[in-house]
Amino acid sequence: MKVSDINKQEHDEHTSYYLDLVPAGDFEEELKQSTQRVIAFFTAIPVPLHDYRYAEGKWTIKDVLQHMIDVERIFAYRALRFARKETASLPGFDVDDYGIAAETDRRSMPELIEEYRVNRQSTLLLFQSFTPEMLIRSGIASGDIISVRAAGCKLIGHEVHHCKIIKERYLSQ
């Protein structure tokens, strides 16, 4: 599967933004490569910046990584439900409420990076278990249609988006 295989009927317009950030190529290979890129990226961030906020009320860098982990879990869950022919509409979630509830100030960056790594391994195994037929199944989440394969590719684009934001707003100071 490649992101270019996904047609516009498989997702909403908001998802298009994230899919446009996904490198061309095999999804499974990109999932593996992005894992290494993200781990290297967060590992290289100096410790004094882990709790840095570029503005009042914005997330810390640790908050952003926790957000990426949470969203990946949610997208993987949605993909699983739709791959298994779920017909119920799945609810959305408030990223800001999740961010506050996560309390990342009590966690270290190495803990979060390890959680990211293990979570990504789980996501990879999940998507490897899907047949081509399962990948094109879709459902409704947060009021919008999304296919299993679009959910998988969206999670890669989502992390590309947040790493870019960190580079621009947190590390360029």
Instruction: State both tokens at 125.
Output: 């195994």
CATH number at residue 88: 1.20.120.450
How far is it, in rounded angstroms, from Cα 3 to Cα 38?
19
CB 50 within 8 A of CB 42: no
Please check the confidence at residue 38 and state whether its pLDDT lies above 80: yes
User: Count of domains in the chain?
Assistant: 1
pLDDT at residue 11, rounded to an integer: 94
How far is it, in rounded angstroms, from Cα 36 to Cα 122?
15
88-119 per-position pLDDT tens digit: 999 999 999 999 999 999 999 999 999 999 99
The whole domain housing 64 covers 3-170
